[in-house]
């Protein structure tokens, strides 16, 4: 690693992603071979662990499926133990383009932010996604603005970058195992974090449960818990 270059880790929670996880890891390494990729295999019953390991990631495995944010907390812990200065997160299903890492990380490198959220809405008013999901994101953006003052366009985005010092303060405060996208924003804001967004490209939607009624209910529940907790 070059002298004075920050130690950057990318944490990927993965559940049954054997078809895509290798490609995602290789794309990160193509962007910057010195980035450490940490994959948390969250109880997969396919070859996710093996594929991720062969692609060059640090891989740990939950023996059972605990949830996306439980996996992220595990990955955050590993990255902090390995001296990360910046920790980015993205999904293992291929919906995020690792080539956008530079855009998302830059405000932290220039000390403009402590948490950066990659937004699909900063490039277009209407990224490719089901209509109910589009309006759901708009709804939660509005709630966050109302209750915290944080103005965002893509509050549920999984493509984020954090200063490791913020992660160190947040880690014990994050309680959600699956629906933590809004909890982390609320609790980061409460700690005085500087939060901003940067544009990322919108990749064609993959199959997801996001935007369904259960997902929306649980996001609302987790937001209310974070606000009163």
Q: How many domains does the chain have?
A: 1
**Each residue of 94-119: pLDDT tens digit?**
999 999 999 999 999 999 999 999 99
Q: What is the pLDDT of residue 3?
A: 59
Q: What is the pLDDT of residues 70-97, one digit of tens each?
A: 999 999 999 999 999 999 999 999 999 9
Band (pLDDT 50/70/90 cuts) for residue 205 is low
Instruction: Find out whether 89 and 11 touch, Cβ atoms under 8 Å.
Output: yes
Q: Which DSSP symbol is given to 180? A: -
Residue 227 domain-assigned?
A: no
Whether residue 224 lies inside any domain: the answer is no
In the prediction, which pLDDT does 207 show? Answer: 54
| Domain span at 94 | 8-126+154-178+191-204
Rounded distance, CA 1 to CA 167, Å?
23
Report if residue 185 sits inside a domain.
no
Is 115 domain-assigned? yes
Q: What is the pLDDT of residue 1?
A: 46
* Per-residue model confidence as pLDDT tens digits over 129-181: 888 889 999 999 999 999 999 999 999 999 999 999 999 999 999 999 999 99
- Does residue 210 lie within any of the structural domains? no
- Whether residue 142 is contained in a domain is answered as no
**Terminal Cα distance for the chain, rounded:** 41
CA-based torsion, 146, 225, 140, 202: positive or negative: positive
Question: What pLDDT does residue 47 have?
Answer: 98
Quick check: 66 and 42 in contact, CB under 8 A? yes
Residue 144 within a domain: no
Residue 2 pLDDT > 60:
no
Q: Is residue 138 one of the residues assigned to a domain? A: no
pTM: 0.94
- Residues 186, 140: contact at Cβ < 8 Å? no
User: Is residue 107 within 8 Å of residue 118, measured between CB atoms?
Assistant: no
- Give the model's confidence band at 204: pLDDT under 50 very low, under 70 low, under 90 confident, else very high: low
CATH code for the domain in which residue 33 is found:
3.90.550.10
């Amino acid at each position: 690693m070059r002298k004075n270059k920050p130690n950057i880790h990318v944490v990927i929670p993965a559940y049954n992603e054997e078809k895509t996880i290798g490609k995602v890891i290789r794309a990160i390494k193509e962007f910057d071979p010195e980035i450490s990729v940490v994959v948390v295999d969250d109880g997969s019953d396919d070859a996710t662990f093996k594929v991720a390991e062969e692609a060059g990631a640090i891989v740990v495995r939950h023996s059972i499926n605990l949830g996306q944010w439980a996996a992220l907390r595990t990955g955050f812990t590993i990255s902090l133990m390995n001296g990360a200065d910046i920790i980015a997160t993205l999904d293992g299903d291929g919906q995020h383009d690792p080539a956008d890492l530079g855009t998302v990380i830059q405000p932290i490198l220039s000390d403009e932010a402590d948490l950066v959220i990659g937004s699909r809405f900063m490039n277009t008013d209407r990224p490719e996604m089901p209509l109910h999901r589009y309006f759901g994101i708009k709804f939660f953006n509005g709630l966050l603005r109302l209750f915290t003052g944080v103005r965002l366009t893509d509050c549920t985005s999984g493509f984020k970058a954090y200063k490791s010092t913020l992660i160190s303060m947040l880690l014990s405060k994050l309680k959600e195992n699956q629906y933590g996208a809004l909890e982390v924003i609320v609790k980061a804001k409460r700690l005085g974090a500087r939060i901003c967004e940067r544009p990322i490209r919108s990749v064609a939607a993959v199959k997801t449960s996001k935007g369904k009624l259960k997902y929306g209910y649980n996001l609302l529940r987790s937001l209310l818990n974070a606000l009163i907790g």
